[in-house]
Amino acid sequence: MNNRSTTAREVIGDYLAEQCTVIIDSEAELRAGENVIHKVRVAVRRFRSTIRVFADLFDAEQAARMEEELVWWAGLLGEVRDMDILTQRQQALLAELPPELILGPVESTIQEELAVQRKQAMDDMLEALNSEHYRKFIGMAHHWRSDPPFTAAAEASADSKKGWQAAHQSSCSPPRRRAVG
């Protein structure tokens, strides 16, 4: 059995590394048109939640910058995912209607319109993959994966109740106010 103490830095760092890996590795799959948007959005949400829950364990300025980038990326991915979900829901709703209530090419008109909107959202997301903004975001994700900007508080032991109480302190405290401007 390993007697070595595990720190919050190690546990949370490993978890963040997993989320960063999903985000970083998804680029090729997204470019290839593979259906990974939901998986990437989940990783982004987990990353954002970790930053918020353990706010006191991260450098506030770097965490705020990463939060902004994650919100930006989630927004682009969300536009595509929203169209996927809306298409599924519309198809299900139309399937429930009696055929005599559907006059004309209702189903194909809805599908065509949603497909156009999804294509636009996908084009916007793919265009973002080629942007300097995305390159900087992925650079930040690489940094967070290998060396997250932890504070000294992250050295608390994750093996003891006392250590986790110190690490979880931010989740029980009111959120810190960030300076505006």
Instruction: Write down the pLDDT at residue 4.
Output: 59
Full-prediction pTM beyond 0.85?
no
Q: How much is the average pLDDT of 137-162?
A: 87
Q: Lowest-pLDDT range, 19-23, 81-85, 98-102, 122-126? A: 98-102
Closest-CA residue to 17 (of 145, 150, 142): 145
Q: 């290998």: which residue's tokens?
A: 146
Could you tell me which of 51, 53, 73, 49 has the C-alpha nearest to residue 61?
Answer: 51
Does position 178 have pLDDT exceeding 70, yes or no?
Answer: no
How many CB atoms within 10 Å of residue 63?
24
Given a contact cutoff of 8 angstroms between Cβ atoms, the answer to whether 150 and 13 are in contact is yes
**Shortest CA distance to 105 belongs to which of 94, 115, 92?**
94
Helix H or strand E encompassing 10: helix 8-31
Tokens of 66: 């990463």
* DSSP-based three-state secondary structure for 1: coil
The predicted-structure confidence for 83-110, as pLDDT tens digits, reads as follows 999 999 999 999 999 988 888 898 899 9
- And the tokens for 83? 């169209």
Per-residue tokens: 124: 């916007």
The arithmetic mean of pLDDT across residues 1-10, rounded, is 73
Dihedral sign of CA atoms 68, 72, 77, 79 in order? positive
